[in-house]
Amino acid sequence: MTLKSVDSLPSGVVAPDYDVASVRPGIVHFGVGNFFRAHEAFYVEQVLKDDPNWAIIGVGLTAGERSERKAAQYKAQNCFYSLTETAPSGDSKVRVIGCLRDYLLAPDSPEAVLERLSDPATRIVSMTITEGGYNIDESTGEFDLTNDAVQQDLKTPERPSTIFGYVVEALRRRRDAGHKAFTIMSADNLRHNGTVARKAFLGYAKARDAELASWVEANATFPNGMVDRITPTVSSAVIEKLNKASGLEDDLPLVAEDFHQWVLEDSFADGRPPLEKAGVQFVDDVTDYEHVKIRMLNASHIMLSFPATLMGYENIDQALADEDLRRNVEAFLNKDVIPTLHAPPGVTLEGYRDSVISRFSNPAMADQILRIASDGSSKVQVFWTETVRQALERKTDVSRIAFGIAAYLEMLRTVPDHSEPTFKAKQKELASAEDYESALKLPSFDAWRDLDTTELNAKVIELRKVIREKGVRAAIPA
């Protein structure tokens, strides 16, 4: 059946447990991608029955045919979509999510977006815009005011096009109208995502108007959160498969693992949904949780995916079924990561490791290696830096880290259509150079360049040679 309403869904499909017609929007979300749909929306969905004031309005910022098509699909389905949650055992559960109540394409209706953001009923503005989306200059660590779109917004602040322009203009209107500020909540997989968001939005606000910036600083909040749920890319073949299994005709279905976690600081400017009822953990400090997630799960995801790409594997469970790759990733976790990590209360690192391995081996997910390996340049920095620095400082064995870097660089050189969206011309040139040294100058490795990298770099070069001459498997550390 066409997914236009949640009345009489096929049997086995779980419908919203609240009256969809009577919920009211309280959250505006930028970046309605699969991760948001399977994570934040999934949590909010479960608490609307307790507090109906937190439905979500999605906003897309990019113009173009693809965005228009997506917006049309949301409208056609009254913003409903189905989520299939799959467990490693193969069990799955399908539910229709109803908490997304509208989808606005900002380039088509900028004023509607500003009105929604300025409405005092909007009390949280959340976002999943990826790391690059925060427009932080890697070399200075500050908000990049030289960005063309930001420059344009600063010239015409009342007609913005960037997320910073929209949010700050709305905050200006709220202040002038005597309304409260909202919470600016990042749900991106970054360390200290709230601190990054604070830097970005205040960086823009200060450049626009210092007084307004002070008001935002005093009144808005930027909670940090650790987010986790593996959410594969949905191809048309997957859409067909999901619909066949659910009995729905959903143009926007998605699949995710049954595992999900959100650890959040309880720092909200004007209230929040009762997310603890859906399992969100509220803590004073998310740092240790972030480190465990990023340094164990995400770091081993790329440690597996870079060589697996070269070996021709498609999905992460296939990579993990390769005994050599599995041994390498387990050794990386046991010897390089766990000894230098601090576990937050209630978490054992060995238990976390076992759960990560079990999550990766979930075949029903068919999680694409290309999804994980793409944008490796940012991921290497975010996911590996701490572990690399610890190894260099403690002078421990760097062979597994060197192997990961060597595989990454060989992948960049030999998989030309590999997506590195943030690479500029100079980086492309370094990455594709035939010699072994040039690529070591890539900015991805800047974060540990101040330490003694002689041995590490020599090992990377040695392993790149082995990969080229004898293949990846021969380069996997014993």
CB of 261 to ligand CS2, least distance (A): 8
* Three-state secondary structure string covering 103-133: EEECCCCHHHHHHHHHCCCCCEEEECCCHHH
What angle (nearest 5°) sits at the alpha carbon of residue 125, between those of residues 120 and 131?
Answer: 165
CB of 202 to ligand CS2, least distance (A): 26
H or E stretch at 59: strand 55-60
What's the rounded Cα separation, in Å, for the pair 303 and 320? 11
333 binds ligand CS2 (CB under 6 A): no
CB of 191 to ligand CS2, least distance (A): 12
The two beta strands, 254-257 and 183-186, are unpaired
286 binds ligand CS2 (CB under 6 A): no
Tokens 């870079």 correspond to what residue?
A: 306
40 binds ligand CS2 (CB under 6 A): no
| Tokens representing residue 316 in the block | 């992460």
| Tokens representing residue 236 in the block | 């048309």
Please identify, among the stretches 163-171, 224-232, 345-353, 403-411, the one whose residues bind ligand CS2 according to the rule CB under 6 A. Answer: 224-232
* Residue whose C-beta lies closest to ligand CS2: 301
Closer of 182 and 332 to ligand CS2 (Cβ): 332
The number of residues making up the chain comes to 478
Contact 228, 259 (CB under 8 A): yes
| Tokens representing residue 367 in the block | 């999680």
Report the largest interatomic distance among the alpha carbons of the chain, rounded to a whole angstrom: 68
CB of 250 to ligand CS2, least distance (A): 22
| Tokens representing residue 44 in the block | 């909010």
Please identify, among the stretches 154-162, 222-230, 390-398, 409-417, the one whose residues bind ligand CS2 according to the rule CB under 6 A. Answer: 222-230
Interacting residue with ligand CS2 among 122, 183, 186, 189 (CB under 6 A): 189
| Nearest one of 108, 130, 126 to 57, comparing CA atoms | 126
Closer of 16 and 225 to ligand CS2 (Cβ): 225
What's the rounded Cα separation, in Å, for the pair 178 and 180? 7
Interaction residues for ligand CS2, span 402-441 (CB under 6 A): none
Closer of 208 and 379 to ligand CS2 (Cβ): 379
SS3 239: helix
Please identify, among the stretches 24-32, 171-179, 223-231, 393-401, the one whose residues bind ligand CS2 according to the rule CB under 6 A. Answer: 223-231
Closer of 379 and 464 to ligand CS2 (Cβ): 379
What's the rounded Cα separation, in Å, for the pair 67 and 61? 9
Interacting residue with ligand CS2 among 101, 208, 229, 272 (CB under 6 A): 229
Interacting residue with ligand CS2 among 32, 104, 230, 304 (CB under 6 A): 230
Interaction residues for ligand CS2, span 123-152 (CB under 6 A): none
Contact 392, 451 (CB under 8 A): yes
Tokens 């421990």 correspond to what residue?
A: 396
Closer of 222 and 262 to ligand CS2 (Cβ): 262
Binding to ligand CS2 by CB under 6 A, coded x per residue (else -) over 293-322, reads: -----x--x---------------------
Interacting residue with ligand CS2 among 51, 85, 131, 228 (CB under 6 A): 228
SS3 30: strand
Residues 6+ apart with CB under 8 A from 329: 300, 303, 304, 320
CB of 404 to ligand CS2, least distance (A): 14
| Tokens representing residue 472 in the block | 């990846």
Please identify, among the stretches 51-59, 144-152, 227-235, 440-448, the one whose residues bind ligand CS2 according to the rule CB under 6 A. Answer: 227-235
Please identify, among the stretches 49-57, 203-211, 341-349, 371-379, the one whose residues bind ligand CS2 according to the rule CB under 6 A. Answer: 371-379
Binding site for ligand CS2 (CB under 6 A): 189, 228-230, 298, 301, 371-372, 379
